[in-house]
Structure 1
Amino acid sequence: MTASIFYSDATRLAELIRHREISPVEVMQAHLDRIEAVNPKVNAVVTVADDVLKAAKAAEAAVLSGEKLGPLHGVPFTAKDSIDTAGVPTQRGSPIFKGRVPDVDATSVARMKKAGGILLAKTNLPEFSYWIESDNLLSGRSNNPWDVTRTPGGSSGGESAAIAAGMSPIGLGTDLAISVRGPAAQTGITSMKATHGRVPMTGIWPRAPRRFWHVGPMARSVRDIALAFSQLVGPDGQDALATSTVQFDAGIGRQPYRQLRVGWMVGPGFGPVDPEVAATVEAAAEALKDIGVFVEQVSIPALERDFALDVFNRLHVMEMKPAFAEATAGHEDEMYKMAKTMLSLPDTSMKDYIDAEQAAERLRDGYADYFSGYDALMTHVLPIPAHKHGVEEFIIDGQTVDATYLQGATVPLNVTGLPGVAMRFGTSKEGLPINVQIVGKWQAESTILHLASLLEGVSPVRSLHPDI
């Protein structure tokens, strides 16, 4: 086993397999060995799928026989344990669902398999996918491979940690307010939350509140995110919110016909931001400017009028509480911290709920106004690098805030449905990853992936991996 296999991206592995330079069996065995070596320290993988070597041998036979191969043929992938996988436990981070084995794959999993991917394992998450740390009563706490005393985030923290540590080249996470982009930032990988409805949520729980949930790819390169998204995108006839038929081409390297216009900001409107993080966003903006992109500092007044995190909190509680109450009925002794917290929250009054709905409309209008003059927006993902386990209050740039404020720059995209890519561009003084977020217009994933690819090409941290 060599790092050249388990730290190769999915696109490279697929190329090597297609050209018979490496076999799917070698690739699968390398990842199984890597899981055995580092998962005891990280606790990112909760279930390894059965017969993965058998599946890899079948993939090898298809290569040797000259069959038509999918773009991810023979490449292992992982999925967060809230995403249904036929014949493989999907236990949602709770003893209440211990031993639950779906009969049918989620649409996203089925599409990864159709592209030739082989499901390797399921990854850890917080109870019911609901918190910014991946910890639960069933499978315990996941650790950050850059520093195991710190969190890899949530709710797709097991997925981010597995990819960062070389246990998986590519995978699927879900995102309610932060959950594919925050964990990517804490572990230094790449992820994307597409426009709401671009990728069906069929086969994923919880679904409430449906307007905010997304499923998205997580990987170690921008081209992998583009490739996976090209396979995941499109309606499935089951998720009524997944109706967009806008096409997507995974060829992210083509130069647009005109100079792109990008604004960057770290506030106001997002809450406090650590100076190291703010400096990384500015450095990324300057890097884009240096390669010919028009870049300038901006503000979005709508974010200052309506704090998106407050809007989100007033809207989602009323919709998530019934789902949690139904799931935990008769199992109250098996609830962990976040389910108890959710059920203890006061209901939002009808007036506050309607006010929040109107605020969400103002936020959408504010972004629409911004994007009438710009192609993309660059922000931070998190206001601080990965934090120690269990911290519930932070002092950020001199201001004391609770842990929910870590979602300040990510949750606006869930409230508005806009797409965003998270990718690493910096390192903290403690050696931890710092990511930036590139936000695009609705349906404009190709633009933000193009910009992310350009930025990746000049990144000072492109090839760094944790020493674990």
Structure 2
Amino acid sequence: MSDAITQLDASGIAELIAKRELSPVEVMQAHLDRIAEVNPRVNAIVTLADGALDTAKKAEQAVLSGALLGPLHGVPFTVKDSIDTADVLTQRGSPIFKGRVPEADATAVARMKASGAILLAKTNAPEFATSIETDNLLTGQTNNPWNLDYTPGGSSGGESAAIAAGMSPLGLGSDLSISTRGPAAHTGIVGLKATHGRVPLTGHWPRAPRRLWHIGPMARSVRDVALAYSIIAGPDGADGFSTLPPTIDLGTTRTRPLRVGWLASPGFFGPIHPEVAATVKAAAEALRGSGAEVEEVNLPLLSDTDTVSVLWQLHQMEAAPGFRKATEGHEDQIFRHAKLVLDGADTSIEDFVAGEQTVERLRDEFASYFQRYDVLLGPVTPFPATKHGLDDVIVDGKAWSAFQVMNATSPFSLTGLPAMTLRFGTSSDGLPIGVQIVSSWYAESTMFEAASRLESSSPVRDIRPVL
């Protein structure tokens, strides 16, 4: 029974709890048992929330008393360790913050709890949530549950691995350039980066550069991500970038067929693995089969712009000072991720302005694109998950920096466009391959519609890692 429970999605769990066919205590115990069984090999969970089982017992009493239940009543959820959780360790992947216990929940966490969800655990993150891999000096390396020799990506790799391995049905990650979408793709789950500002960043560290950071839900189904998004989105009166209520959705007024443009290779700056390109093409054909109008497109500025370098320059200008302040006097406790930032060259004001102007041109190009199409479909990562610690990746016989993994996600972080990923293929090594769906600003409903269509036709929808 425990294995069956941990394979359910969060929406299914909530439905069964509301019908009194499943107890919140059973659900919580099943996930605690699953963590005990597989986490020693995966190392995705770094802290169990004290009192989770007691909270589940209270949730069970609420069900039995006939109380009004929230949409996620009794459902466990996990949270990336860069997001504050009241009275539960939030150590930011660094010995510098060892033992840190916040007094208050991040806004997104508080909203999840208000919906009835129960905090189960915190998940591993790289130092300062800044890396394409998930490891650090404090809580170690997280492994991909599909193959423990491979990375789940970063920086929400602990969250994605926990969900993929059945240790959690639903969680909160964060995304600067790839960090919900890449790990979701590497582990075969669904990850969302909504329009910038839709979800308040209050309670996340680092905050800078706040105009690029996002908090987003991660789960094993599109409906779970959509439900969690509806719960955590909206202004909180503390994050000045979060101003529009989620009820304002520019995708809800469409009355014609869905118009989809897709691109793979060429499409983005840098390499695209043939298996990734084939997966994107298969997803485009699936959308065509669902009744959408589908066309291969070309966005020259997108393929010609090294957005990873642009994002790095903007990040260096704004984040490096905060890193220096946080690490002052703790130089012996810095891991390689923070070292990259601290040892990196400062961005000149000329390069910073040039980067900002590049972002403006990208926004203009996307604004024009979304006049003609509702959705852009493409790769999430240009290659499937790699083995731990690789500096270079070979694609079509050519070596590329492992940091090129961000080529297809960085453009939408820079421009603030909503983007999400779900699995639609499998590599020759047996690893998940995801596709990325992008809609116009504040048109999340269109993105969810396209994702739901793909999920219903996915050839790998019900495949889970075996641990």
Where on the TM-score scale, by shorter chain, does this alignment land: which range?
Answer: over 0.9
The 8 Å contact of residues 248 and 446 in structure 1, kept in 2 or not, is answered as: no
Q: Which residue of the partner structure matches residue 257 of structure 1? A: 255
CA-CA distance at 1:255 after TM superposition: 11
What one-letter code is carried by the residue in structure 2 that aligns with 1:310? S
Q: Which residue of 2 aligns with 1:391?
A: 390
| Contact 1:107/1:202, CA 8 A, preserved across alignment | yes
Q: Deviations over 1:55-94 (max 9, x none)?
A: 0000000000011100000000000000000000000000
**Aligned counterparts of 2:248 and 2:166: Cα–Cα separation in 1:** 28
Bigger shift: 100-109 or 306-315?
306-315
The 3-state SS of whatever aligns with 1:365 is: helix
Classify the secondary structure of the residue corresponding to 1:196.
coil
CA contact (8 A) 2:164 2:187 kept: yes
Deviating more after overlay: 350-359 vs 216-225:
350-359
* TM-score, scaled to structure 2: 0.98
Residue matched to 2:274: 275
Matched letter for residue 302 of structure 1: L
**2-structure distance, mates of 1:153, 1:268:** 22
Matched with 1:191 is 191
| Secondary structure in structure 1 of the residue aligned to 2:53 | helix
Q: Which residue of 2 aligns with 1:56?
A: 56
AA aligned opposite 2:287: L
Equivalent residues of 1:301, 1:366 under 8 A apart? no
Q: Give, in whole Å, the separation in 2 of the partners of 1:297 and 1:365.
A: 20
- Structure 2 CA distance, aligned partners of 1:65 and 1:422? 39
1:179 aligns with 2:179: yes
Q: Please list, as runs of the form range in 1=range in 2, the aligned pairs for 1:166-245 lying within 5 A after superposition.
A: 166-245=166-245
Distance 1:284 1:341 in 2: 36
Aligned partner of 2:345 in structure 1 is: 346
Q: In structure 1, how many angstroms separate the alpha carbons of the residues matched to 2:282 and 2:226? A: 24
Pairwise mapping of residues 33-182 of structure 1 onto structure 2 (< 5 A)? 33-182=33-182
SS in 2 for 1:172: strand
Q: Residues 86 and 101 of structure 1 are in contact (CA less than 8 Å); yes or no, is this contact kept in structure 2?
A: yes
1:424 is paired with a residue whose SS is: strand
Q: Is the 8 A contact 1:230 1:248 kept in 2?
A: no
Which one-letter code corresponds to 1:117 in the other structure? Answer: A
List, as ranges, runs of 4+ consecutive aligned residues in structure 1 with deviation greater than 6 Å.
none
| Amino acid of the structure 2 residue aligned with 1:121 | A
Partner amino acid, structure 2, of 1:263: G
> What is the SS of the residue equivalent to 2:372?
coil
Task: Give the SS at the match of 1:20.
Answer: coil
2:98, 2:138 within 8 Å by CA — same for their partners in 1? Answer: yes
Partner of 1:376: 375
Q: Deviations along 1:391-436, whole A, 9 cap, x unmatched?
A: 0111123332111100000010110000011000001111110000
Once the two structures are superposed, the pairs formed by residues 429-444 of structure 1 within 5 Å of their partners are: 429-444=428-443
Residues 417-456 of structure 1, C-alpha deviations (whole Å, 9 max, x = no match) = 0001100000111111000000010011110011100110
Given that 2:269 and 2:305 are in contact with CA atoms closer than 8 Å, whether structure 1 keeps it comes out as: no
Q: Structure 1 residues 345-354 or 72-81, which shifts more?
A: 345-354
The letter for the 2-side match of 1:350 is: I
The aligned counterpart of 2:410 is 411
Tell me if 1:302 matches 2:301. yes
Q: CA deviation at 1:307?
A: 2.5
Determine helix, strand or coil for the equivalent of 1:119.
Answer: strand
Query: Which residue identity lines up with residue 259 of structure 2 in the other structure?
Result: R
Partner of 2:421: 422
Instruction: Verify the 8 A CA contact 2:44 2:123 in the aligned structure 1.
Output: yes
Alpha-carbon distance in 1 for matches of 2:154, 2:9: 23
Distance 1:204 1:109 in 2: 10
Paired with 1:301 and 1:353, the residues of 2 have a C-alpha distance of: 22
Q: Which digits, 9 at most, give the CA deviation of each residue in 1:265-298, with x for residues without a partner?
A: 0233331100000000000000110111001100
Greater displacement, 274-283 / 264-273: 264-273
Q: CA, structure 1 residues 120+246, in 2 after alignment: closer, same or farther (shift >3 Å)?
A: closer
- Matched residues in 2 for 1:24 and 1:276: separation? 41
1:138 positional shift: 0.3
Change (3 A) 1:119 1:334: same
What is the alpha-carbon distance in structure 2 between the residues aligned to residue 222 and residue 139 of structure 1?
30
TM-score normalised over the length of structure 1? 0.98
Q: Distance in 2 between matches of 1:242 and 1:428?
A: 38
Letter of the 1:177 counterpart: S
Partners in 2 of 1:248 and 1:9 — Cα distance?
27
Q: How many Å apart are 1:256 and its aligned residue?
A: 5.5
Q: Secondary structure at the match of 1:372?
A: helix
Unaligned runs of 5+ in 1: none
Give the CA deviation at 1:310: 2.1
What's the CA shift for 1:301?
Answer: 2.2
Once residues 31 and 76 of structure 1 are traced to their aligned partners in structure 2, the CA distance between those partners, rounded to angstroms, is: 8
The one-letter amino acid of 1:265's match is L
Q: Deviations over 1:3-45 (max 9, x none)?
A: 2200100000000000000100000000000000000000000
Number of residues paired by the alignment? 465
